[in-house]
């Protein structure tokens, strides 16, 4: 599955077309610092060269262990990780990153396109999954989307005692485990984090999260706090009950 007339396909036979204009940064926030961990040297160099032509910074590692060592540093915006790597495979590498508390976005590359393979890749901690062969434009679009997410402002990303809440992506992680929340559960947690250190009354939470115009006689806040604590598991105590008043996160 490769069009020899185009240079936009990767993962099969390499194309011979020219790169697009040099020095054009595709991400609105400037160049993205990308680590490419791929044992196919020709493919890695081609991907890196094309990304540099878009204005991004790239580095290459050719095995899982040296890739993991470099990816543990906090100066990267994104890692592109092949599944089949010598020394340490891409899924084990990604799990190791998440276990170490490294949240650098990971775009996983693989020749395997079965649903189970994609699910396993995402469950290992990858943020996105791309099957070879792929079009460079698709790779670039995914890189830009992940970079925007990783560069979210502090107001968009909250991290409290191992709980990470990404407002833009509406995703919650406890350590390396993603927690599935309903829309209102997420809104309640985000509201508490937005007012970290403050005690919010039940009436305030009803108005801010459920848009109740008055203190309706309902135990919806208590019920949803119960749901949240159950799903957060060992990290449930980040939500503090202030007896007779309401709830808070942080002190």
Here the CATH number for the domain that contains residue 21 is 3.40.50.2300
146, two tokens: 């992940």
Whether a cis peptide bond, with omega within 30° of 0, leads into 78 is no
Last residue of a domain, one of 150, 170, 187: 150
Q: Is the pLDDT of residue 235 over 70?
A: yes
pLDDT at 121 over 80: no
In this structure, the answer to whether residues 28 and 115 fall within a common structural domain is: yes
Task: Verify that 133 and 103 share a domain, yes or no.
Answer: yes
Tell me the pLDDT of the chain averaged across its residues: 82
From the list 36, 97, 96, 87, the residue with the least C-alpha distance to 61 is 36
Confidence at residue 214, expressed as pLDDT on a 0 to 100 scale: 59
58 contacts 31 by C-beta, under 8 angstroms:
no
Q: What is the SS3 assignment for 20-32?
A: CCCCCCCCCCCCC
Q: How far is CA 248 from CA 227, 230, 233, in A?
A: 16, 17, 17
**Domain termination residue (choose one: 150, 167, 202):** 150
- Residue at 19 is within a domain: yes
Locate 34 and state its tokens: 């990308």
Q: Is the pLDDT of residue 28 over 70?
A: no
Residue-wise burial string across 97-110, b where 16 or more C-beta atoms lie within 10 A, e elsewhere = bbeeebbbbbbbbb
Give the angle 60-64-66 at the CA atoms, nearest 5°.
60
Whether residue 195 sits in one domain with residue 146: no
Judgement on whether residues 180 and 143 belong to the same structural domain of the protein: no
- pTM for the structure as a whole: 0.56
Least trusted range by pLDDT, from 18-32, 81-95, 222-236: 18-32
From residue 28, alpha-carbon distances to 107, 136, 144, 180, 213 in Å are: 19, 19, 9, 30, 39
pLDDT at 213: 63
Same domain, 112 and 183: no
Total structural domains in the chain?
A: 2
Which of 117, 132, 150 finishes a domain?
Answer: 150
Task: Specify which of 5-14, 35-44, 69-78, 105-114 reaches the highest per-range mean pLDDT.
Answer: 35-44
Q: Are residues 108 and 32 in the same domain?
A: yes
Binning pLDDT at 50, 70 and 90, where does residue 133 land? confident
* Listed range (16-25, 70-79, 126-135, 145-154) with the worst mean pLDDT: 16-25
pLDDT of residue 152: 56
Q: What's the domain range around 217? A: 157-249
Same-domain status, 135 and 41:
yes
Contact 186, 200 (CB under 8 A): no
pLDDT in tens, 196-234: 889 999 999 988 888 776 555 678 899 999 999 999 998
């Amino acid at each position: 599955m490769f069009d020899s007339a185009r240079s936009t396909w990767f993962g099969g036979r390499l194309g011979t077309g020219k790169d697009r204009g040099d020095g054009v940064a595709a991400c609105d926030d400037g160049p993205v610092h990308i680590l490419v961990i791929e044992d196919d040297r020709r493919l890695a160099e081609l991907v890196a060269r094309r990304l540099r032509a878009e204005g991004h910074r790239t580095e290459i590692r050719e095995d899982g262990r040296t890739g993991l060592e470099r990816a543990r540093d906090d100066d990267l915006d994104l890692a592109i990780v092949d599944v089949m790597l010598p020394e340490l495979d891409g899924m084990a590498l990604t799990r190791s990153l998440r276990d170490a508390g490294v949240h650098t976005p990971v775009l996983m590359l693989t020749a395997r396109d079965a649903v189970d393979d994609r699910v396993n890749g995402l469950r290992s901690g990858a943020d996105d999954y791309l099957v070879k062969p792929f079009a460079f434009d698709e790779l670039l679009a995914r890189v830009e989307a992940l970079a925007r997410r990783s560069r979210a402002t502090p107001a968009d990303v909250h991290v409290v005692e191992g709980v990470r809440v990404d407002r833009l992506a509406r995703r919650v992680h406890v350590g390396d485990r993603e927690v599935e929340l309903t829309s209102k559960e997420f809104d309640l947690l985000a509201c508490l984090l937005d007012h970290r250190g403050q005690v919010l009354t039940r009436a305030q939470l009803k108005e801010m999260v459920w848009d109740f115009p008055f203190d309706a006689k309902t135990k919806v806040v208590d019920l949803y706090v119960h749901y949240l604590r159950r799903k957060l598991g060992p990290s449930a105590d980040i939500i503090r009950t202030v007896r007779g008043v309401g709830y808070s996160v942080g002190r």
